[in-house]
Each structure stands twice: as C-alpha cells, then as structure tokens.
Amino acid sequence: MTPNRRTLLAAPLALCAGGLAACDRFAAAEPTPPVVPPLKSVSPAPFGTAIKAMQIDDPDWVALARANVSQLTPEWEMKMEYVLANGLGRPNFDRTDRIAAFAQANGMAMHGHTLIWYSQGAEAFSGLTGAAFDRAFDGYIAAMAGRYRGKVRSWDVVNEPILDDGSGMRDCHWSARYGHDGYILRAFEKARIADPQAVLFLNEYNQESVPAKGAQFLKLVERLLKAGCPLQGLGLQSHLWIDIPEGVIAAYMRKIGQFGLPIHVSELDCTLRTDRRLDFRGQADRLAAQGARVTELASAFAALPKVQQFAFTVWGLRDTDSWYRQGAKDDGRDKPLPFDSFGRPNPIAAALAAGFQD
C-alpha cells in the first residue's frame, strides 16, 4: 500500500508499534553532514523554497535562503485560508506583500500559490449562489493575480484537482457550480486576463508515485489543452517517500515532459516515515533510500529539455520548517528537507546536487 499525506499523519504511532527498540533503531546516530555547494548554483533552473512570512524575521533562515535559493513560493499565506480569513470583503494581503517585498529586495523570483484549491474557500463562499458566486470567483482571481502582476513569474492557478486514488476528479464547491473541468477552465481564463505575463500552472501531488493518479493527471491536461485552456506549465509537487519503487519517478518525468510544457518540481520533500506496520529499518537505511529517490527526481528533471526546466522548489529548507514536523504530526525524527534544524546540509542536499550534475 502506498502512503498518502493522510495516512502519513498517522505514521508515528504505527512506527512505534514494534516497541521502543524499533524506535531506538530509527533514531540511530546522525551522519556527519555532507559538504554541498549552494543548491541554486547546481540546479539547472531557478531553485526555490516555500516561505512563511515569519521566516523573514529569522536571520538564520534568511542566510540559508540567500545562499541557496533564487525563488520563493508562499507556503500558506497566499491561500484563501489566510487571504479570506476575514471574509471576501476584507482580504488580507499583508503577509504576501511582505514576502513579495523580501523577494524583490533579495533578487529572488516568486511563484504564486494557489488561486483555486478544492480545500479552500468553502466558508468564504458559503451562501453565495448564481451570479454572486461567479462575481466572487472571478473577482478573487482578478484581485489576487492583478495585485501580484509583475511580482510573480508564475501561478498555481488550480491545485490538486484529482482524487487520491486516481479514479477521477474531486468533487468540491468549485466543481459543484462549474463542473469538474469547468472550474479549472474558468480559473485559467480569469487568471490569463488578470496577469497576461505569468506562466499558468496546474499543480498536483503523487503523480509520479501513484500510477493511476499520474495517468488521470495526464488525461486532464490533454482535455484542458484540447479545450483551449491557457495552461502553460505542469506542477509536479513531489511529496516523495522512501518506498517509491526505483525508476517510477524518472518514467513519469518522461511522460509528463511529452507535452513540451514547462515543468515545475513545486514542493519537494521526502519523508522517512512509511505506513508499514512493522518497519525496523534504521535511519541510515532510510536515508539511503531517500537519497536514491531524490537523486532520481533531480536527475530526471535535469534530463528535460532546457526550455521545460521551469524551476525546482523544496517545501521548506530546514527539517523543522516542514509541515511534517509541525504540532501533532511531529515525530521529532523525520528529515524530509535539505537542511537540518541547525541549517547544516542533510543527505537530501547531497542527493539533489548529485542528481542535478548527473
């Protein structure tokens, strides 16, 4: 069984099901940090990270970002959950404005994330029907994409439209009004009008790791392009895990590359957790498996034609910045990102450098 984001959240308990000995083995000695060149200097395309506005106040984070990245994606403050937290009439742009100013001051590009997402906006849009819903939908995209016109080079216009098992498209408040493909088409059309220059992306996870989901994504892209959608780029989130079979990631990269569109590896991280009930592998074995998958991804990206290498983004810099390491989800041990909590390179950083230079 392949883990998905939901099952992974329950993983820490499952990992300890073998008793304390299993957990001790998992927490075996830390390896010596590898020596790795600045990631932006070895990446064949802009190298990005997710950013939360508060990280701008953390000098260690800022130094790590300046050394390693040339692009930023707001991790959550550009989403409806923050922008529309006070309702449609009182949008919060303050934090994204701050991130945009930081990007500009540091010569970094910015990627907008995300305009329309099944998991967001239900509350702000509740009670709206008919033309009022349309005005709010179109108006939101016009306001966001208009405000950041010239400040972002690209947008995730629609995020995660496909069901986890790949059996079809998700039902959501957007599809209820416009249909499964209809809300995507409408969002892209409105984004195109609001920002004619930005490269417009469709973004999805587990494409390279769950074959049925990847196939469904490719079918959707075909339909959208046939319908004249101004879709210009494909976002491969790449929330990886260590048991993805060898070769699957590279094979999918070749398939998604066949559209000739720019590819954004948009949210890379690789958890060491699995949903195997008893998993006695130690940290060193897990890190080796992780490195192999990350090198495969980086090398597959580097093998794309240059014009298709849009950007390569990690979903945070330090392990402790990761969504895997927040609140109840934190098992204290996962190392999903390129740097440890002190900003020292993790094996993933070396795996990335190796893959880019293959």
Shortest distance in whole angstroms from residue 119 CB to ligand 9MR: 7
User: Per-residue string for binding with ligand 9MR, 174-203, x by CB under 6 A?
Assistant: ------------------------------
Options 12, 62, 76, 106; binder of ligand 9MR; rule CB under 6 A = 76
Of 42 and 50, which CB lies nearer to ligand 9MR in the complex structure?
Answer: 50
Residue 61 contacts ligand 9MR per CB under 6 A: no
Q: In this structure, what token pair is assigned to residue 49?
A: 């990270």
CA 349-352-354 angle, to 5 degrees, is 110
Shortest distance in whole angstroms from residue 161 CB to ligand 9MR: 12
Of 299 and 322, which CB lies nearer to ligand 9MR in the complex structure?
Answer: 322
CB 311 within 8 A of CB 264: yes
User: Per-residue string for binding with ligand 9MR, 221-260, x by CB under 6 A?
Assistant: ----------------x-----------------------
Interface with ligand 9MR in residues 147-176 (CB under 6 A): 159
Q: In this structure, what token pair is assigned to residue 203?
A: 């973004």
CB 237 within 8 A of CB 282: no
Of 203 and 290, which CB lies nearer to ligand 9MR in the complex structure?
Answer: 203
Shortest distance in whole angstroms from residue 306 CB to ligand 9MR: 27
Shortest distance in whole angstroms from residue 83 CB to ligand 9MR: 11
Buried/exposed 215-233: b ≥16 CB within 10 Å, e otherwise: ebbbebbeebeeeebebbb
Shortest distance in whole angstroms from residue 239 CB to ligand 9MR: 6
Interface stretch with ligand 9MR, choices 26-34, 75-83, 103-111, 220-228 (CB under 6 A): 75-83
CA 297-110-61 angle, to 5 degrees, is 80
CB 213 within 8 A of CB 170: no
User: Per-residue string for binding with ligand 9MR, 319-358, x by CB under 6 A?
Assistant: ----x-----------------------------------
CA distance 69 to 41: 9
User: Per-residue string for binding with ligand 9MR, 80-119, x by CB under 6 A?
Assistant: -x--------------------------------------
Bridge partners (DSSP) of residue 179 are none
Shortest distance in whole angstroms from residue 75 CB to ligand 9MR: 5
CA distance 264 to 159: 13
Q: How many CB atoms lie within 10 A of CB 6?
A: 8
CA distance 180 to 174: 8
User: Which residues does 347 contact at the CB level (< 8 Å), separation at least 6?
Assistant: 31, 34, 287, 290, 291, 335
Interface stretch with ligand 9MR, choices 71-79, 130-138, 180-188, 305-313 (CB under 6 A): 71-79
Q: What is the DSSP letter of 262?
A: -
Shortest distance in whole angstroms from residue 141 CB to ligand 9MR: 17
Options 43, 65, 79, 346; binder of ligand 9MR; rule CB under 6 A = 79
Q: What is the DSSP letter of 332?
A: S
Q: Which residue is nearest to ligand 9MR (CB)?
A: 323
CB 141 within 8 A of CB 190: yes
Q: In this structure, what token pair is assigned to residue 265?
A: 């590896």
Interface with ligand 9MR in residues 14-53 (CB under 6 A): none
Phi, psi (rounded to 5 degrees) for 322: -75, 150
Catalog residues that contact ligand 9MR under the rule CB under 6 A.
Answer: 5, 75-76, 79, 81, 159, 205, 237, 267, 323
